[in-house]
Homo-oligomer: A and B are copies of this chain.
């Protein structure tokens, strides 16, 4: 049930149309919960159906922009979700499977792929660091909302750093560095 709540959050930050939401996802929320426009339209329909959001006036028409805003019930639902009890999702990490497969059938060709992944993680880490420098000059002194947003970014940075270090270690294990 993450996507609908992600959309409610985004709409509270700023009422938007489906396409705007899609674009905003691409450059912020989407780092931790990507979504395509098809998913977003589908979910907007359900949220409207459930009376958690509403479209600003004007007749619904295909091809015409529709802007949505969050209703009180939607805000309440989001507040509930913040405090809800929801277990972490199971980890699904194909690289681990590939290492295990390599332990059985040999690791030929694996090192190159690991280096490629390390490079991808390094790029994303750099992007996060840019955002941090730009948007969070003084996280410690900021109000709670900003500190929370910085904590999200810090998690992203920490995870990328972790993967880079781990991949480097595995490459060492393979004698490949």
Chain A interface residues toward B at CB < 8 A: 2, 5-6, 8-9, 12-13, 29, 31-34, 75, 78-79, 81-110, 112-113, 116-117, 120-121, 144-149, 151-152, 154-156, 158-159, 162, 165-166, 169-170, 173-174
Number of copies: 2
Which residues does chain B contribute within 8 Å of A166, judged by CB atoms?
A: 151, 154-155, 158
The A interface, classified by DSSP as helix, strand, loop or mixed, is helix
- B144 touching A8 by the CB < 8 A rule? no
CA distance A89 to B94 in the complex (A): 8
Q: A170-B151, A173-B148 are in contact. Are A97 and B159 (CB under 8 A)?
A: no
Which residues does chain B contribute within 8 Å of A169, judged by CB atoms?
A: 151, 154
